[in-house]
Amino acid sequence: MAFTRKASKDHSIIILLIIGTACLGLGSISAWKAGIIPIQQSLESNHWPRVSCQIIRSEVKESIDENDTDQTIVYEAMVLSQYIFRGHTYNTGRYTFGEYASSKRNDSVKTVAKYPLGTTHTCFVNPANPAEAVLNRNIVNEVWIFLVASLTIAIVGAGLLLFALGAYPKRWQKNSHTRVSEASIGFTALFPEVGAGQQLIGSTVLSATWNGLLLAAFYHVWSNNNQAMPDLTTLLILSPFVLVGSLLLFINIRIILSSFNPRPSLFISEGAPRLGQPVVIEIFFSQRSERISNLSLSLKGTESAQYKEGSNTRTDHNVFFDQEIFDAAVHGSFEKLQVSFQVPNTSMHTFKGKHNAIDWSIELHAEIRRWTDISESYPLVVRPLPIAKEEDIR
Amino acid sequence: MNEIKIELVQGYYRPLDVITGRVIWNLEKPPHAIAVEIGWFTEGRGSTDSHIEFDMQWITESTSGFENFSFQLPASPYSFCGTLIELIWYIQARPKKGNLQWRAQLVVAPHLQVVKL
C-alpha cells in the first residue's frame, strides 16, 4: 500500500524572500548612514577643539523633491559659517550631524533664526579633518526618528526572511492541529457563532462607511458640476456602488429590526457531547415569545477546506450532515422547550486543522409573524466515541 | 539488496489501540540510524494538514537488522473520507542516510473502517 504525497510550489515564499531582503537591506543601510554614523560622529566630536566662527550665509532653501510624483516642495536650512583653524580659513555648510530636508518650512526657519547672518558662534572642528566642523554637535531629533524607523523596517525584513525560510523555532509555529479535548464540559449555555451585538455593530459600521463615502463622492461630483446633476456616464459609473450601498443598507435595516425580536437562550446538558451520546437542549426566549409562529432546530455537520487559488485564499464548505431535530408550529407564549438528539456514533468528531475542519452546529430558525425571522447558528464541539470494550463494538 | 519494511499484525486500529510492529532492514550501506514514524495527513480540496504522532530512531551502522516498537494511538483524529477532505494515517520507515523509504496506510477508527461522511 505504497503511496506518495503531492508536492506544490509556493510562489508566496519567493515574494516574501524578495520583500524581506529589500526591507532588511534598505532598512540597514538607512539606519547606518542616517542614524548610526551621525551618532558616532557626535560622540567623537566630544574631543573636537572649539573655535569661533562667523555666519556668512543663513537662509531657507526651497526645492522640489525629485523622488515625489506630487512635486512636493522641501525646505532645507542653508547655514554657511567661516572659521580659522591652525592658520587656515575654512568654510563649512554643516551646522549639525544628520541634516535633512523637510516638507515643513517652520523647522528650517527655526534653524536659520538660531544662526542669523553675521553673528558669531562656537564651532567644533575635527582635528583630523579641519574642513569638517559643526555648530551643534548634539544629535537632533530627526536622527533618532530616522534610526528607529529604519531599524523597524530592517527588523520587519529580517522577520519576513526568517518566516520565508521556515527558520522560526518549531514551538513558535502554529500547531497544524488542535486536538479535540477529551474533557467533558457538562451543563452549559450555547452561544451563537456571531452575536447579535456584533452583527448590529458590524453591519452599521459597514453600511455607514460605504454609503458615507458614496455620498461624499456624489457631493464632490455634484459640486464640481456647478451643483447640477452629473452626466449619464458618471451616473453609470456610480450605479454599481449605489447598488452595493443599497444592499448594505437593506441588510443593516433587517438586522436593526431583528434586534427587537425575542432573544433565544440555549442550554445543553453536555457542552461537548461524544458521538452517539444523547443530549438535551433547553430553549428559553426573552419576552414576546408569543410572536413566534414556528420554531425549528437542526443538527448540522460541515466540512471546510481552505486552499490558495493564485494569490487568493478560498474556503469551500460542504454540509455532510443536516438533520432536523425539532420543527413545530408554536401557539401562544411558552417558557421553555426541551429537545433531545444525538450525533450519530458512525460519524466524525470535531476536527480542527490549519486548513481543514469538521464542524458541528445547532441551527435555530424561528418564524416571526410580519417581521424578520430569527436565524442563529450555535457551534458545538463533538468529542470522539468513548473507548468501548471489544464485545460492545457493533 | 536494499530494502526496509515494517511488519505489522494488522493495518486497522481503534483509537487508543497499541500499534506493535517490527522494522526490518537489509541495506547496501550503513544507515547511521533507522527511523520509524506514525502520523496522518489530509488530502483533498484544502491545503494539506499533517501531524507526526510518533517517531522513533535507532542509532545503528548495521546494514541489516530489526527492531521492535510499540506505540499507543491517540483518541483522535479518526481516518475519514468526505467530499472535500480525506484524513489518512500512515506508518513509515527509513534509514537516516539515503532516499529509501517504506510507507503504508493505516486505518484508525472506532469501527475499524474509514468514517464516510
Put simply, the answer to whether A387 touches B104 (Cβ < 8 Å) is: no
3-class secondary structure, A207: helix
- What is the pLDDT, as a whole number, of residue B98? 80
Whether the Cβ atoms of residue A304 and residue A316 lie closer than 8 Å to each other: yes
Nearest beta carbon to residue A318 from set B82, B105, B111: B82
Closest CA to A365 of A337, A316, A327: A327
Put simply, the answer to whether B49 touches A316 (Cβ < 8 Å) is: no
Chain A to chain B, count of Cβ pairs less than 8 Å apart? Answer: 110
Put simply, the answer to whether B42 touches A349 (Cβ < 8 Å) is: no
Whether the Cβ atoms of residue A32 and residue A166 lie closer than 8 Å to each other: no
Put simply, the answer to whether B49 touches A177 (Cβ < 8 Å) is: yes
Residue B40 has pLDDT above 70, yes or no: yes
- Best B47, B50, B51 member to test A by mutation, with max A CBs in 10 Å, is B47
Put simply, the answer to whether B83 touches A303 (Cβ < 8 Å) is: yes
B-contacting residues in A 157-216 (Cβ below 8 Å)? 176-177, 179-180, 182
Is residue B45 very low, low, confident or very high in pLDDT (cuts 50, 70, 90)? very high
- What is the pLDDT, as a whole number, of residue A307? 94
How distant is the Cα of B63 from the closest Cα of chain A, in angstroms?
A: 23
Please tell me if residue A342 touches chain B, with a CB cutoff of 8 Å: no
List A303's β-bridge partners, or say none: A318, A358
Q: State how far the Cα of A240 lies from the Cα of A31, in Å rounded to an integer.
A: 47
**Residues in A touching B82 (Cβ below 8 Å):** 303, 318, 320, 348, 358
- What is the pLDDT, as a whole number, of residue A83? 93
- What is the pLDDT, as a whole number, of residue A167? 60
pLDDT, one tens digit for every residue, chain A (394 residues): 333 233 334 566 778 788 888 888 988 988 888 888 888 888 888 888 999 999 999 988 888 766 666 667 788 888 899 999 999 999 988 888 876 666 678 878 888 888 899 999 998 998 888 888 888 888 877 788 888 888 888 888 888 888 777 665 544 454 568 889 888 999 999 999 877 788 888 888 888 888 888 888 887 777 776 666 667 877 787 788 888 889 989 988 888 888 888 888 999 999 999 999 999 999 988 777 778 888 999 999 999 999 998 888 999 999 999 999 998 887 766 678 899 999 999 999 999 999 999 999 999 999 888 888 889 999 999 999 987 644 444 4
Q: State how far the Cα of A262 lies from the Cα of A197, in Å rounded to an integer.
A: 14
- What is the pLDDT, as a whole number, of residue A256? 85
Please tell me if residue A13 touches chain B, with a CB cutoff of 8 Å: no
Q: State how far the Cα of B99 lies from the Cα of A30, in Å rounded to an integer.
A: 46
Nearest CA in chain A to B5: A2
Tell the burial category of B12 from Cβ atoms under 10 Å away from its Cβ (0-12, 13-18, 19+): middle
- What is the pLDDT, as a whole number, of residue A69? 63
- What is the pLDDT, as a whole number, of residue A171? 44
Put simply, the answer to whether B115 touches A318 (Cβ < 8 Å) is: no
**Residues in B touching A318 (Cβ below 8 Å):** 82-84
Nearest beta carbon to residue B80 from set A180, A306, A348: A348
Whether the Cβ atoms of residue A169 and residue A31 lie closer than 8 Å to each other: no
- What is the pLDDT, as a whole number, of residue A288? 76
Please tell me if residue A2 touches chain B, with a CB cutoff of 8 Å: yes
List B72's β-bridge partners, or say none: B18
**Residues in B touching A394 (Cβ below 8 Å):** 111
- What is the pLDDT, as a whole number, of residue A170? 45
- Best B84, B89, B92, B100 member to test A by mutation, with max A CBs in 10 Å, is B84
- Given CA atoms A108, A114, A119, A123 in this order, what sign does their dihedral have? negative
Q: State how far the Cα of A62 lies from the Cα of A77, in Å rounded to an integer.
A: 9
Whether the Cβ atoms of residue B91 and residue B106 lie closer than 8 Å to each other: yes
Put simply, the answer to whether A393 touches B110 (Cβ < 8 Å) is: yes
Nearest CA in chain B to A315: B46
- What is the pLDDT, as a whole number, of residue A175? 52
Nearest beta carbon to residue B84 from set A176, A318, A385: A318
Residue B67 has pLDDT above 90, yes or no: yes
Nearest CA in chain B to A394: B111
DSSP assignment letter at A97: S
- What is the pLDDT, as a whole number, of residue A291? 81
CA angle A179, B40, B11 (to 5 degrees): 120
What are the residues of chain B with a beta carbon less than 8 Å away from any beta carbon of chain A? 11, 14-16, 41-51, 74-78, 80, 82-85, 87, 102-105, 110-111, 115, 117
- What is the pLDDT, as a whole number, of residue A11? 63
Q: State how far the Cα of A99 lies from the Cα of A142, in Å rounded to an integer.
A: 8
Put simply, the answer to whether B47 touches A3 (Cβ < 8 Å) is: no
Residue B69 has pLDDT above 90, yes or no: yes
- What is the pLDDT, as a whole number, of residue A120? 92
**Model pTM score:** 0.63
Q: What is the secondary structure of A135-202 as a DSSP string?
A: SB-SPPHHHHHHHHHHHHHHHHHHHHHHHHHT-S-GGGSPPSEEPPP-----SEEE--SS-HHHHHHH
- What is the pLDDT, as a whole number, of residue A370? 81
Residue B24 has pLDDT above 90, yes or no: yes
Q: State how far the Cα of B37 lies from the Cα of A196, in Å rounded to an integer.
A: 47
**Residues in B touching A303 (Cβ below 8 Å):** 82-85, 117
Closest CA to B35 of B98, B112, B79: B98
Nearest beta carbon to residue B76 from set A179, A320, A355: A179
List A51's β-bridge partners, or say none: A123
